[in-house]
Amino acid sequence: MKIINGNGSNKFSPEGWDSVQSVAASFGLSGWELLDKLQSQQLTLIELEELEDLLDTIAGLEGLLSAKEEGTITWEKVKNELNR
C-alpha cells in the first residue's frame, strides 16, 4: 500500500485506498471508519506470527492451569501403564 505525502497530509494511492476499503469491508466498516478506529485505538492490527505466538502462550497457560486443577501423573506411573 502506498501512502503519498503531500502538503503536510498523507494520501493513499488509488491502489492503497482500494486495499484499505477491502480490509474495512471484511469488518463491515467503510474505509474511513476503519482508519478512525485504528487512529482512536479501538482496533489494532498485528502480524499473523505475533497472533500465533499469543495463541500459543494462551494454550500453554491453559495447560498449566489444567495441570494445577486436575493434577498430574508421575512419569513412573506412565511407564508402568505402558509396560502392562
pLDDT of residue 5: 47
Largest CA distance in the chain: 79
- Using alpha carbons, select from 13, 12, 30 the residue that is nearest to residue 21: 30
Q: 37 and 43 in contact (C-beta within 8 Å)? A: yes
Domain that includes residue 8, residue range? 1-45
DSSP assignments along 20-83, one per residue: HHHHHHHTT--HHHHHHHHHTTSS----HHHHHHHHHHHHHHHHHHHHHHH----HHHHHHHHT
39 and 5, same structural domain?
yes
pLDDT of residue 12: 84
Report, as ranges of residue numbers, the positions in the chain whose pLDDT lies below 70: 1-10
**Number of domains into which the chain is organized:** 2
84 and 51, same structural domain?
yes
What CA–CA distance (Å, rounded) separates 19 from 1? 7
50 and 34, same structural domain?
no
pLDDT of residue 28: 96
